[in-house]
Structure 1
Amino acid sequence: MSWSRRGLLLALPAAALAGCGFTPAYAPSGPGAALFGATRYDVPATPEGFWLRARLQERLGSGAGPYGLAVTLTLTPRDAALSPSGQVVRRALRGAATWALTGPEGELATGEVSTFTAWSSSGSTVAVQTAEEDARERLARALADLVVTEALAALAGP
């Protein structure tokens, strides 16, 4: 297949999306353009809040502009798997994030997202603690991605 045919085949889906009014979120006229680099974050002062803020800054940039994104976290640990002898061999952590996006004209969008993660609770103490910390970081980053996705979708409108 020649490069010109390959380029044409790759361009067709993009042209179809452009014809239906699709606008990339971070395009100059997209909903993310105004938020990028102009959003303050209000997150919990916890390790999970730190990881949440870091991921939000990766997605929306860091800045002190007219927009504010407040996020509260609720984390619920639970046993996920037991061995035949009744020992906990896997733990799970459910996370929920309630968020509110505000702008110069007031509240722009609100929502709640949730997801979960799990880790092995068998092994050495250090291994289990490291696995739990890694799971908490993954959960915070996943929640941040969900918050950004929903906020951009809410700003884009129906």
Structure 2
Amino acid sequence: MWSCKRRNLLAGLASLTLVLSACGFAPAYGPGGNAASVTRNIALAAPQTRLEYLLNQQIERRLGHAPGGDYQLTTAITTSDERIAVTSTNVTRRFEIVGSADYTLTGPDGAVVTQGNVGGFTGYSTTGSTVATTAARTDAQDRLMVILADQIVTRLIAAAPAS
């Protein structure tokens, strides 16, 4: 009984592979995939703030460092802190940092290739000392920039021209 189900599964996977290859599906990171046209080919705008630096750092981690790349990526980050756990005595025990980033990718000719907005949130606790709360907030900001950068990279690869 198990071997029959296994054969059906293998046959289904084989037919799925044929269907996907027939419709022009190609892995983004595979040979000739869209990721090849943007990997190590996007120059980032110089960061002006700590958050911009962290965002750029994560994007470069994923796509590579390319100060003279053919494409130019500009970003604008906005964040806000929101109280989410407040005691009956009006003491905030937990904050949530909500952030978004607008991005624009321009091509070698200066035309906009893609643009959009991504968003995310992280939280941190304020139940420790002042130093612990500051460290927790900084860590939450770091995590938020990773979330936003990963979303931007995913969208850039999806919108990248085929190489």
- Is TM > 0.5 for Structure 1 vs Structure 2? yes
Q: TM-score range by the shorter chain?
A: 0.7 to 0.9
Larger radius of gyration: 2
* Structure 1, unaligned runs of 5 or more: none
Q: 1:14 to 1:54 in 2, by over 3 A?
A: farther
1:74-153 pair list within 5 angstroms? 74-105=78-109, 106-153=111-158
Identical positions, percent = 35
| C-alpha contact (below 8 Å) 2:94/2:124 kept by paired residues | yes
CA distance in 2, matches of 1:29, 1:60: 16
RMSD of the alignment, in Å? 2.5
Alpha-carbon distance in structure 2 between the residues aligned to 1:81 and 1:16:
50
- Given the alignment of the two structures, is residue 37 of structure 1 paired with residue 40 of structure 2, yes or no? yes
- TM-score, with normalisation over the residues of structure 1? 0.85
Paired residues, number: 154
- CA apart distance, 1:43: 5.3
Distance in 2 between residues matched to 1:66 and 1:128, nearest whole Å: 42
Match of residue 3 from structure 2: none
In structure 2, what residue type is equivalent to 1:32?
Answer: A
Q: With structure 2 as the length reference, what TM-score do the two structures score?
A: 0.82
Deviations 1:16-39 (A, max 9, x none): 543443212222322210111111
> Where does structure 2 lack aligned partners over 5 or more consecutive residues?
1-5
Please tell me the residue identity of whatever aligns with 1:27: G
Which one has more relative contact order, counting CA pairs under 8 Å at least 6 apart? 2
